[in-house]
A = this chain, B = another copy of it.
């Protein structure tokens, strides 16, 4: 048991608060899973009317929705509680709808990136392709896989909205929430397009301003929709005052960016057992992350040549991965990103400290900061 200085809360007090928030977050994870399971069972019935052969689509969605850290629902939930809302089935269902939205984004993202795996398992389009091959169907298995995953993603996108609306909130609350929900959807898709465009045009645009451009992509493709918008959705549902919404935005954008930067570092240096994808996958995909932009900004000509010739090479072998990792470390880019993460986490925590949030919500959000940015995830 650690000793606390006399001015700090007593061990009992501190633990009690922490346990209260932690308990609620853990409970939310379970409740989100139950709500999703129930919702998908209803949809299975709607699809069975078309044909029982639609089963594999439901299976793909169900498998993608089981597990995960449920960070987005947690931010939505605590955004709501922090604004005076009370736990209950309404906020659980609205928060769970974010998981369906996230599933849609992942399904389509994996098709667009042609990824092999997701969370350590074959990506959905690969699973549909395998089904096609296994049953010796005619035509292209790859094309069948692509179509199956696009349709499964379309279902999740439609369902996220259906589940949100059926959450049980009254119409004024839903109307406030819907404004956030709509902005989130449009801006995520805009952010994803911007991301692709940056990957494709980065060589032409050169290194000038590349770090700022990469950070802009992070903001719209990840920070807003992973943290800020879920918090604001909870806030809107609870009818939070403008000052609290501003706190959430400051906290959410800073933490959301840190979360993505941590993901970028793990994508290059992370343990495949932890990240669920093969080592170096992000390097083979040629992602133009802030990490890469920082490296290029500080690289000597030989290092630039190495990055430009190997990054995005689908055949990149273990040796190539190590060579790129070495450039990212030697240029100081890794240390730079770690500093940026630290600064952003501090910015997020300061926003919380300055706010009038009650202690349970603040504790819960501080715990989520750790969960979202820990070096091993």
Q: A132-B200, A138-B200, A150-B111 are in contact. Are A46 and B183 (CB under 8 A)?
A: yes
**Does A244 lie at the interface of the complex (its beta carbon under 8 Å from any beta carbon of B)?**
no
Does A204 lie at the interface of the complex (its beta carbon under 8 Å from any beta carbon of B)? yes
Interface size class of A (residues with CB under 8 A): 35 or more
The main secondary structure of chain A at its interface with chain B is: helix
**Known contacts A171-B171, A199-B139; is A148 also within 8 Å of B51 by CB?**
no
- A203 → chain B closest CB, angstroms: 5
A57–B162 Cα distance when bound, in Å, is 25
Q: Which of A50-109 contact B (CB under 8 A)?
A: 50-51, 53-54, 57, 104, 108
User: Interface 1/0s, chain A 175-205, versus B by CB < 8 A?
Assistant: 0001000110111011111101101111110
Question: Whose C-beta in chain B lies nearest to the C-beta of A202?
Answer: B138
Does A248 belong to the interface (CB within 8 Å)?
no
Task: Verify B114–A187 contact, CB threshold 8 A.
Answer: no
Asked whether B147 lies within 8 Å of A196 as measured between CB atoms, the reply is: yes
- Per assembly, the copies of the chain total 2
Q: Which of chain B's residues has its CB closest to A111's CB?
A: B150
Pairwise interchain contact B43-A186, C-beta atoms closer than 8 A: yes
Segment touching B, from A152-160, A272-280, A323-331, A346-354: A152-160
CA distance A148 to B199 in the complex (A): 13
Distance between A131 CB and nearest chain B CB, rounded to angstroms: 10
Q: In the assembled complex, which residues on chain B have CB atoms less than 8 Å from the CB atom of A54?
A: 190, 193-194
- Given A155-B186, A157-B158, A187-B46, CB of A197 within 8 Å of CB of B146: no
Interface string of A300-344 (1 = CB under 8 A from B): 000000000000100000000000000000000000000000000
- Interface status of A161 (Cβ within 8 A of chain B): yes
Q: Hey, which chain B residues are within 8 Å of A153, CB to CB?
A: 154
Contact of A190 among B51, B147, B159 (CB under 8 A): B51
Interface positions, chain A 109-152, Cβ under 8 Å from B, are 111-112, 114, 132, 135-139, 143-144, 146-148, 150-151
Residue in contact with A158 in the complex, picked from B132, B144, B186, B312, CB distance below 8 Å:
B186
Contact of A194 (CB < 8 Å), options: B50, B165, B189, B192: B50
| Among B47, B178, B183, B199, contact of A186 (Cβ-Cβ < 8 Å) | B47
Q: Which residue of B lies closest to A46 (CB)?
A: B186
| A191 surroundings in chain B (CB, below 8 A) | 50
Q: Does A259 contact B (CB under 8 A)?
A: no
CA distance A197 to B286 in the complex (A): 34
Q: Does A251 contact B (CB under 8 A)?
A: no
Q: Are A193 and B57 in contact (CB under 8 A)?
A: yes
**Complex: how many Å from CA A171 to CA B169?**
13
Residues of A within 8 A of B (CB): 43, 46-47, 49-51, 53-54, 57, 104, 108, 111-112, 114, 132, 135-139, 143-144, 146-148, 150-151, 153-155, 157-159, 161-162, 165, 171, 178, 182-183, 185-187, 189-194, 196-197, 199-204, 216, 220, 286, 312
Question: What are 26 contact pairs spanning A and B, CB under 8 A?
Answer: A46-B183, A46-B187, A47-B186, A47-B190, A50-B220, A51-B190, A51-B194, A53-B194, A53-B197, A108-B151, A108-B154, A111-B146, A111-B150, A112-B146, A112-B147, A112-B151, A135-B204, A137-B201, A137-B204, A138-B200, A144-B200, A148-B193, A154-B185, A157-B158, A161-B161, A162-B178
